[in-house]
Homo-oligomer: A and B are copies of this chain.
Amino acid sequence: MNRLRRGERMVVMAQILASQPYKVFSLTEFAQMLGAAKSSISEDLSFIRGAFERFHLGKVETLPGVAGGVRFLPSRTPAQIRALAETLCQKLRDPGRVLPGGFLYTTDLISTPSLAAQIGEAFATFFSDRRPDVVLAMEVKGIPLALMTARAFNVPLVTIRREGRVTEGPSVSVNYVSGSSRVVQSMTLPLRAIPEGAKALFIDDFIRGGGTARGVYDLMREFRAEVVGIGVLVETAQPREKLVTRYVSLLVYEGVDEATGEVIVRPSRWVLELS
C-alpha cells in the first residue's frame, strides 16, 4: 500500500468523523488505519479542526486522557440557522400552502432530506448541552426531523404511535387532550423502547396548543425517563399560552394575510436571539 499524502489522510479522517457524529475515535485507530505516526495524525486533526471551524462545517473535539480521542459534533452557526429559517419562511409564504382548519402544508419541506438534515443539525445545536439518550418523534410527520436530529446526536430515534401495534410487544399508553381541538387521544410506546432514566429530546413539526407535548411528558413519566428538551419546526402564534412552557421553535406561524392570501410566518425569537 502506497503511503498516503497528508491531504488524503485528512480527507479520510474527516469523512469518517463526520459520518458518525459524537463517536469517539482513538488516534491509535487512525494511525493504524492510515499507516502514519500518532504525532502526524494529531497534527492532521488540528488542521481538520481549523478547516471545519473556518468554513462552519461543525466541530472537531479532542478528548484528553485514557478514554480520549477525537469526535465530530454537528453544529450550525447562528448565521446558518437564521439563513435556514429565512429560507423556510420564504417557501412557506406561498398562499397555496394554507389548508382547511388553519393548517399549513409543510410535508414537502420536512421530507426534503437536505432541509431535514439542516433542521436536525439546528436542533442538535440548540440542545447540544442536553446530551439526549434518545430522540422522540410523534408519528407520522414528525419522524423525518426527529430522525435527522437523532442522527446528529448519534442516538436512537423512538417513534410514539397513536395506537398500539401487535408487532411491537407489550406497550405503555397514556391519554392526552389535544390542546387545540380538545379531543382525547392516546399515545403508545413499546415497553422496551426506552430504558429507565433515559434523557429524551422530543422533536416535532408543529405545536399549537401543546397537548401532544404535554402527553409526551406524561408518557415519559411512566417510563421514568426525563424530557430534556422539546424542539418544533413551527409554532402557531395563537394560542399564546401553550400547555408546555419549555420548548424551542424555529418558526412562528401568525396566520394568513386576508388581503393578499400570503402566509405570515417568521423566524422565532430563539432564532433571532441566537448569538
Query: Do A166 and B51 have beta carbons less than 8 Å apart?
Result: no
Smallest CB-CB separation from A4: which chain B residue?
B51
Q: Which of A1-39 contact B (CB under 8 A)?
A: 4-12, 14-16, 18-20
Query: Do B100 and A159 have beta carbons less than 8 Å apart?
Result: no
Q: Which residues from chain B contact A169 at a C-beta distance below 8 Å?
A: 99, 105
Whether, in the assembled complex, A158 has its beta carbon less than 8 Å from a beta carbon of chain B, the answer is yes
Query: Do A168 and B99 have beta carbons less than 8 Å apart?
Result: yes
Smallest CB-CB separation from A167: which chain B residue?
B103
Query: Do A44 and B144 have beta carbons less than 8 Å apart?
Result: no
Smallest CB-CB separation from A8: which chain B residue?
B51
Instruction: Return the CB mask of A52-84 against B: 1 if under 8 Å, else 0.
Output: 101101000000000000000000000000000
Give the one of A44, A51, A101, A113 with max B CB within 10 A.
A113
Q: Which of A129-184 contact B (CB under 8 A)?
A: 139-140, 143-144, 147-148, 150-151, 154-159, 161, 166-169
Q: Number of A residues contacting the other chain (C-beta, 8 Å)?
A: 59
Give the one of A7, A47, A52, A192 with max B CB within 10 A.
A7
> Would A55 and B12 be within 8 Å (CB), given that A100-B166, A166-B99, A168-B107 are in contact?
yes
Query: Do A7 and B103 have beta carbons less than 8 Å apart?
Result: no
Q: Which of A187-204 contact B (CB under 8 A)?
A: 190, 192-193
Nearest chain B CB to A72 CB, angstrom units: 10
Q: Which residues from chain B contact A87 at a C-beta distance below 8 Å?
A: none
Residue of B5, B44, B52, B193 near A107 (CB, 8 A) is B193
Docked Cα-Cα span, A143 to B48, in Å, equals 34
Docked Cα-Cα span, A20 to B18, in Å, equals 13
Query: Do B113 and A157 have beta carbons less than 8 Å apart?
Result: yes
Query: Do A11 and B47 have beta carbons less than 8 Å apart?
Result: yes
In the complex, given contacts A7-B44, A140-B161, what are 14 additional A-B residue pairs having Cβ atoms less than 8 angstroms apart?
A8-B50, A8-B54, A15-B18, A18-B18, A101-B166, A103-B166, A105-B168, A105-B169, A107-B168, A108-B192, A111-B150, A111-B157, A144-B147, A147-B147
Chain A residues packing against B (C-beta within 8 Å): 4-12, 14-16, 18-20, 44, 47-48, 50-52, 54-55, 57, 99-101, 103, 105, 107-108, 111-114, 116-117, 139-140, 143-144, 147-148, 150-151, 154-159, 161, 166-169, 190, 192-193
